Chains A and B, each alone.
Chain A
Amino acid sequence: MASLGIDVLFKGTNLLRLLQGLWVSIEISLISVVLSILLGLIVGVLMTINNKFLKAILKLYLETVRIMPQMVLLFIVYFGTTRVFGWDMSAESSAIFVFTFWGTAEMGDLVRGSIKSIPTIQFESAMALGMDKIQTYIYIILPQTVRRLIPLSINLITRMIKTTSLVMMIGIVEVLKVAQQIIEANRNSSPNAAFGVFLVVFLLYFIVCWPISRLATYLEKRWA
């Protein structure tokens, strides 16, 4: 295996750099996931309100996010808005903005689905007890939806981590970029390094995402 580039990773700080690169994508996804979950809860509740105007806007928002590849959204924010409005936006903040924009819509739809799946009798009983709308949501509906939501939001985390690999395209130095740099730097000493290094990147993503998605499946089965 020596000629396949695993040895390159143990040269100098290469492995550490690779892991730091991985951390960059994980950090971006974690920040986006936390923001998405918070905003998604609000958007999801708004989606259940019977208001034609509000519904149309939220539907448009959801469909836009569903239909446009995340990479296109990244390009629009990073190259487009900076051009039109002339502001200066770092690649990291554009990435967080786009992934939060995307995640909020996905999360909002999950929240809407969970709220809709709660029987009407819960709302009616709460009303019969004299609770107002806000009280009903805080004490009756949200606690029940949260339980259904937790596995789904954990799934959103893995999707987010997988999608953040795209940030390489707007010049953020994350794990794939670091991998390319390592391969380039060792082009002469070990020309086959691409195999070992990309294999390790492949495994790193799997090691990060797999336990999280297993946890989601486990919780889904247990709490179903």
Chain B
Amino acid sequence: MDKDILIEYLPLYKDALFLTMKIGWQGILLAFVIGLVGSAILYFKVRVVKNILGVYIEVFRNTPLLVQLFFIYFALPKVGVQISAEACGVLGLGLLGGAYMIETFRSGVEAIPIIQSESAASLGMSHFQILWHVILPQAISISVPGILANVIFLLKETSVFSTISLMDLMFTAKDLIGMYAKTIECLFLLVVFYLIMLLPISIIGAVVERRMRYGQFGD
């Protein structure tokens, strides 16, 4: 391995990391919002919307992100919907993640004993108040390990962004290998940068999960 080449490539990878993180986190934020709104809709059993949401969840959970991105990026412009590559990445990741987040939140909501919402109702709280003050705070804390697992999964999925010509880590590595054939150095930096991105969250996830288990012990 050539040290000079590593140093030479470092800034390129740094830029790519920032781009990947930027799109990744925006997409995850979108996924989180979709998850919250979606699980609220499922909780209130809003009629037609609930069924549409069900179809959305099944479709996006059962197709690869790569195919979803191709559809948004290459197919939608043909019917007049033009989106930039970055927005397309955020949207694709958000829609995929949203489908997973809804499921995670829902299982969190289902884990809360029915007596909680019944007690709140007997105190005279409205449906929305029950959701906002009683169900959601508990549901979110129950689903934290699941949410973190989803975050890691989504950050890993960002590796397919290179196919819609976003200059992410994967794109940079592939590009540099193609141009200068310094395969080993490029792959080494690729692994290092993915570790920088994913290792901290993975460690946080492990710690939180252990904490949660202790948290349940006293119950």
Contact = CB atoms under 8 A, between A and B. Distances in A.
B31 interface: no
| A: interface residue count bin | 35 or more
Interface in B139-172: 152, 156-160, 162-163, 170
Interface string A139-176: 00000000000000000001000110110110000001
Nearest to B188: A80
A209 B60 CA distance: 11
B163 A169 contact: yes
Contact of A192 (B59, B68, B78): B78
A153 B108 CA distance: 24
A209 B183 contact: no
A68 B194 contact: yes
A194 B183 CA distance: 33
Contacts of B70: 176, 179, 198, 201
B15 interface: no
B110 to A, nearest CB: 13
B78 A162 contact: no
A68 B63 CA distance: 21
A130 interface: no
Interface in B148-204: 152, 156-160, 162-163, 170, 173-174, 177, 183-184, 187, 190-191, 194-195, 198-199, 202
Nearest to B77: A194
Contacts of A194: 74-75, 77-78
A86 to B, nearest CB: 12
Contacts of B187: 75-76, 79-80
A210 B61 CA distance: 9
Closest 8 CB pairs of A and B: A209-B62, A69-B159, A195-B78, A198-B75, A165-B64, A162-B64, A71-B159, A192-B78
Interface of B: 58-59, 61-64, 66-68, 70-71, 74-79, 152, 156-160, 162-163, 170, 173-174, 177, 183-184, 187, 190-191, 194-195, 198-199, 202
Interface of A: 4-5, 63, 66-72, 75-76, 79-80, 83-84, 158, 162-163, 165-166, 168-169, 176, 179, 183, 191-192, 194-195, 197-199, 201-202, 205-206, 209-210, 213
